[in-house]
């Protein structure tokens, strides 16, 4: 997999985590009752996803599936 493709996939994952982090604020601002089952479920999943992505072991997992960070080779001068 090319470094550009890896970066794209990682960006999508980070975007999902970013949405998960702000989802509680979105629900609160929209006035939707957080006690609705689908809202409560979405908030629980968002909180869990944000918590998991904050773990250092996630980078190791991404490395194992081929999505680890890759440094581009710098041209020699």
For the chain, give every domain's residue range: 3-64
What is the band of 77 on the pLDDT scale with cuts at 50, 70, 90? Answer: low
pTM value? 0.50
Compute the CA torsion angle 34, 35, 37, 40 (nearest 10 deg): 40
Q: What is the pLDDT of residue 76?
A: 54
Cβ atoms within 10 Å, residue 46: 20
> Each residue of 2-48: pLDDT tens digit?
878 887 887 788 788 777 778 888 888 888 887 788 777 777 877 77
> Each residue of 25-37: pLDDT tens digit?
888 888 888 778 8
Compute the CA torsion angle 48, 52, 55, 60 (nearest 10 deg): 180
């Amino acid at each position: 997999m090319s470094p550009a493709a890896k970066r794209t996939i990682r960006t999508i994952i980070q975007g999902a985590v970013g949405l998960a982090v702000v989802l509680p604020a979105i629900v609160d601002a929209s006035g939707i009752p957080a006690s609705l089952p689908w809202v409560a479920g979405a908030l629980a999943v968002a909180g869990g996803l944000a918590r998991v992505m904050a773990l250092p072991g996630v980078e190791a997992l991404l490395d194992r599936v081929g999505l680890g960070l890759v440094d581009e080779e710098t041209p020699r001068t």
